[in-house]
Amino acid sequence: RSPVSLAGKPVRTAPPSVTASGQPEQLKGVRRNMARVMADAHAQVVPTTLVDDADLHAWIGKQDITARLIRAIVAACKAVPALNAWFDGKNLSRTMHPQVDIGIAVDTDDGLFVPALRNADVLDAAGIRAAIKRLRTQVEDRTIPASELSGYTISLSNFGMFAGRYATPVVVPPTVAIIGAGKLSHDVVAVMGGIEVHRRMPISLTFDHRAATGGEAARFLKALLDDLSMPN
């Protein structure tokens, strides 16, 4: 309610004064490019996100989580190729890819890098680890070639290594899908005849609904979860 004077008339009030002391900073380099890419993605894509939990209870021994995620994405791409694709919104066409090149989101102080893990579908666990180590080192040293920061067919954001369970990761055109992996947790799970505590990984799948149906996305997510649930 507006304040009133002693005469009962409304009193005009001034807006709160600005007290922030920070200085504007012009975005440059990687962070400037990130802002542009994300704005373009928001303007073009029709995103929809599905979430579920991968049950890791059957895993045997210590396993490389990123390598298992990569393997599961490859399995899902083989099961539902529609999400391992590029979509051209202007010509309303899509390109299905026989190979799986996965963009791996790497967070840095300068901004977001997404180097491409090429031919993930033919790499074993050791090959995946070696390739990811090489890409991350090149990102940290700022020696990664520009050609390695584009051309991926699907992408992965493993934000759970920091915090967070579910997300709505951004699909960057021309790709059709991105997988987000959240922080692992130990959850109480109902099983036949009782309850158990299982280690689980939250999974978020955002896809461009212009290029893929909800059914295709759900089948993709199921294939990914099924692979992650395997012992090794």
193, part of any domain: yes
pLDDT band at 127 (very low <50, low <70, confident <90, very high): very high
* Phi, psi (degrees; rounded to nearest 5) at 59: -60, 140
Q: Which residues contact 25 (CB under 8 A, 6 or more apart)?
A: none
Which tokens is 23 given? Answer: 């200085």
Q: Is residue 111 situated within a structural domain?
A: yes
pLDDT single digits (tens) 133-179: 999 999 999 999 999 999 999 999 999 889 999 999 999 999 999 99
**Kind plus residue range of the DSSP H or E element containing 229:** none
C-alpha torsion angle, residues 208, 213, 215, 217 (rounded to 10)? -20
Report if residue 170 sits inside a domain.
yes
pLDDT tens-digit map of 76-88? 999 999 999 999 9
Please name which of 62, 56, 96, 87 lies closest in space to residue 207, comparing C-alpha atoms.
87
Q: Is the pLDDT of residue 3 over 80?
A: no
Q: How confident is the model at residue 11 (pLDDT cuts 50, 70, 90)?
A: low
CATH number of 188's domain: 3.30.559.10
**Total domains, the chain:** 1
Q: What are residue 228's phi and psi, to 5 degrees? A: -65, -25
**3 lies in a domain?**
no
Domain limits for position 80: 49-228
Supply the pLDDT for residue 18: 61
| 33 contact partners, CB below 8 Å, separation of at least 6 | 111
Q: How many CB atoms lie within 10 A of CB 40?
A: 12
Residue range 60-77, pLDDT digits in tens: 999 999 999 999 999 999
